[in-house]
Every structure is written in C-alpha cells, then in structure tokens.
Chain A
Amino acid sequence: MYGTGLLKGLGITLKHTFEREITQQYPEQMPVLPARFRGNLQLDFQDCIACEMCTKVCPNGVLSLESVRDDKTNKKKLMSYSIDFQYCMYCNFCVENCPKHCLHFDHNFELAAYDRENIKKVYQRPQELVTDLPEEIVAAEEKNQKRISVMIGALQKDAPKILGKLLEDEEKGKVLAAALASDQDKLEKIAVMMVEDIEKAKKVAGALANKAAKDHPKEGNVVA
C-alpha cells in the first residue's frame, strides 16, 4: 500500500532516536588512533646522517636540510632540518626511505595555527651537539656569537647613535631607538642581522623606522 514505505522510514528514525549516540566528544574524549596514524612528522635530530634520501623522495618539497661536511671523517653533519608541513601529502615516502629510521609520524593532529609561518617546523642543531662539528665551523660560530652579544650590549647602551649610523640618518635613528627601547626581541634581532647581513639590517631598520615615525609623528607623544 502507498505510504507503508514512509511509515517504515519513520520507524527507522524513531528507533534510532532512542538509541545510544555514537558521538565522540572531541576535546574531552580524544579519538583512539591506530598505531600507524600519520599526524605530525618528527625528526630524531641525533640519528640523522644528512643523506638527503628524504628530500629526494618527497613529492612536494616539504623537507629541506642544511649540512656541513667534516673534512677529517668525510661525513656529513646536519646543521638544520626544516619540515614545511603545509605542503605535506602524508604519503609516508620519507619515513619508508630513511635508512636510519629517524623520521616518524606522531599522533598529533591538532596543528591549527593563526599564522602560516607557524606551520613550518625548523630543527636547529642542539647546543650540546654544536661542539661535535668540525673545528673551524665551531670557531666561526663562537666568534659570531661573541660579536652578536657585543652588538646587543652596544645597542642597549647607545642605540640612537648606532642606529643613526646604520640608517645614515640621525633623526630616524632616534625614532627607531625610542621604538625599540621597549621591544627587546626586535632589538636583538636587529643586532643579529647587523652582524650577519648588514644590507638586510639596513632595509629592516629603515622599514621599522618609517613605521615608528608614522605611528608616532612626534617623539613627545610616545607614552612610555
């Protein structure tokens, strides 16, 4: 009879209404993930031999690494390793092809970020492993560190003068110094840049100075 199908359908939905719900309540109740679940890619820095198998096999250029060759032992040493997760396809090729099994997927799938930059993950060489590197690199690194710390000290002492020199404009230097006085992070960044790449430092400082000048047209206005 016409209509029995409709009633049967109603019966099905009515039956399920009083059944137990199958919902997993996510933030409180984490899902049970299988062992092979591919969440976030992780690297064991110490085991990596910088053979670049993973970067070659990756279909989409997710992985990149920097390494130095130790002339004495003729072995490569990993300097830094970056995983740009926003291009990953979770194909597992890198994990399969790693001869040292130092790449693996963990079970973390909560990767949401406000900023695209935060998705990229960079592994720097840990401090205790720096001494492991060839001598001249260690020496260069140490020298660099020293110069940076000296520069930071100088900037903290007499920022307007140094910045003015950098920008070749004393007014701007003053404005920037005032703006940076409260922002220690930026100050340090500029110091690092001044040591490593003076041209870049000039550009960045110029941009920052312009921004500071725009935000606070007169120096007196700045509320400390």
Chain B
Amino acid sequence: MAVNNHDEEILAKNNIIVTTFEKLWNWGRSRSFWPLSYGCNCCPIEMMASGAARFDIARYGYEVFRAASRQADVLVVAGPITAKMKPAVERVWAQMAEPKWVVAMGNCAVSGGPFVDGYSVLPGADTIFHVDVYIPGCPVRPEAPFQGLLELKKKVEKQ
C-alpha cells in the first residue's frame, strides 16, 4: 500500500534519527557523484573537456572518473546506444552499486537524436533504464553537464 504525504509526515516525526541520517547520506551522495568513464561519440569529448582546466568538473567534486563500474555512482550515457552496445551498457549498469543514477547527455542519449532513424540505434537511453536527468544538446557545451549534474544533486537532496 502506498504511503501518502500525510503518513510520511507522521513517520518522519516518529523517526527523527532516521530522517536526519537520510539527510546526511543524501548530502554526501549528492556532493560526490563519481561518473563512470564511458562514452561513444562526440559528447564524451565534451565530457573530457569539462574535466580539463577551463571548465573543471572537480570544483563540484565530481571529477573522479572511475574506470571500474563498481565504484561509479553516475552512468553518464554520452552518445547513442546501439544495438551492439546495449548488452554491454546493461551489464555495466548492473555492475554498479546502489545508489546509482543515469544522466543522458546529448541528444543521442536522450532520444537517439540525429541517428534515431538508423536501424541500429536505440531511441534513447530510457529504453533500457530509468534516466534521472536529460541534457539535450548536440554536442552539449561542457557547462551543460554541470547544470545537469547540479539538477541531479537537487533531486538527490530531495529524496
């Protein structure tokens, strides 16, 4: 049975410790998204640029690009997911430890973008998993993923 807002309030009142901890967890989580270094088209290059000196993703503490999927928190899908890539991405997603999020960066990941008519391209990352934040652009400016990640931060804080 679903809990409606009113019940949540009551629960929150009785469980101050749990909710305070929840807040702390979310504070920590939302300030240290470690992206998985994955990408297969133009957007990863902008992702790399966002890690470099001019834009510097490190300011938010998100610069720890993990190569191993086990230690990553955010799967930044940058680029189209093709039929051949799909099993690999699904596997990597399964390997990531909870809590984990998906950010679709660039139009290819949002909807298939320019290549949506191609027989081999999936129409968006949300055909495989729930996407938390969509960042349209083709390719996106390096500031746009920052905005996307900051939106994700807001979302996680509210959880």
**When A and B assemble into the complex, do they touch directly, with CB atoms less than 8 Å apart?**
yes
By a beta-carbon cutoff of 8 Å, the part of chain A in contact with chain B is 21-27, 31, 59-60, 85-90, 109-116, 119, 215, 217, 223
Q: Are B114 and A59 in contact (CB under 8 A)?
A: yes
Give CA–CA (A88, B114) in the complex, Å.
7
For B114, the chain A residues whose CB sits under 8 A away are: 59-60, 87, 89
Q: How far is the CB of B28 from chain A (nearest CB, A)?
A: 21
Q: A23-B54, A115-B134 are in contact. Are A110 and B4 (CB under 8 A)?
A: no
For B131, the chain A residues whose CB sits under 8 A away are: 116
Q: Are B53 and A109 in contact (CB under 8 A)?
A: no
Q: Are A109 and B141 in contact (CB under 8 A)?
A: yes
Interface: B157 (CB within 8 A):
no
12 contacts between A and B (CB under 8 A): A21-B53, A59-B114, A87-B113, A89-B138, A90-B138, A109-B137, A111-B137, A112-B135, A112-B151, A114-B134, A119-B136, A215-B2
The 0/1 profile, CB within 8 Å of A marked 1, for residues 16-60 of chain B is: 000000000000000000000000000000000000011110010
Q: A89-B138, A111-B135, A111-B136 are in contact. Are A116 and B124 (CB under 8 A)?
A: yes
Q: Are B150 and A27 in contact (CB under 8 A)?
A: yes
Q: How far is the CB of A208 from chain B (nearest CB, A)?
A: 15
Q: Are B148 and A112 in contact (CB under 8 A)?
A: yes
Q: How far is the CB of A165 from chain B (nearest CB, A)?
A: 28
Give CA–CA (A117, B137) in the complex, Å.
15
Q: Are B133 and A23 in contact (CB under 8 A)?
A: no
Interface: B110 (CB within 8 A):
yes
Chain B: number of interface residues, binned into ranges: 35 or more
For A22, the chain B residues whose CB sits under 8 A away are: 53-54
Q: How far is the CB of A33 from chain B (nearest CB, A)?
A: 9
For A215, the chain B residues whose CB sits under 8 A away are: 1-2
Q: Are A23 and B116 in contact (CB under 8 A)?
A: no
Q: How far is the CB of B104 from chain A (nearest CB, A)?
A: 9
From A26, A90, A217, give the contact of B146 (CB < 8 A): A26
Q: A111-B135, A223-B4 are in contact. Are A24 and B55 (CB under 8 A)?
A: yes
Q: Are A88 and B136 in contact (CB under 8 A)?
A: yes
Interface: B155 (CB within 8 A):
yes
Q: Are B4 and A88 in contact (CB under 8 A)?
A: no
Q: Are B107 and A87 in contact (CB under 8 A)?
A: yes
For A109, the chain B residues whose CB sits under 8 A away are: 137, 140-141, 143-144
For B126, the chain A residues whose CB sits under 8 A away are: 116
Q: How far is the CB of B132 from chain A (nearest CB, A)?
A: 7
For B112, the chain A residues whose CB sits under 8 A away are: 87
Interface: B84 (CB within 8 A):
no
Q: How far is the CB of B77 from chain A (nearest CB, A)?
A: 13
The 10 closest A-B pairs by CB, nearest first: A86-B111, A112-B148, A23-B56, A86-B110, A110-B147, A112-B135, A109-B141, A26-B143, A89-B114, A111-B136
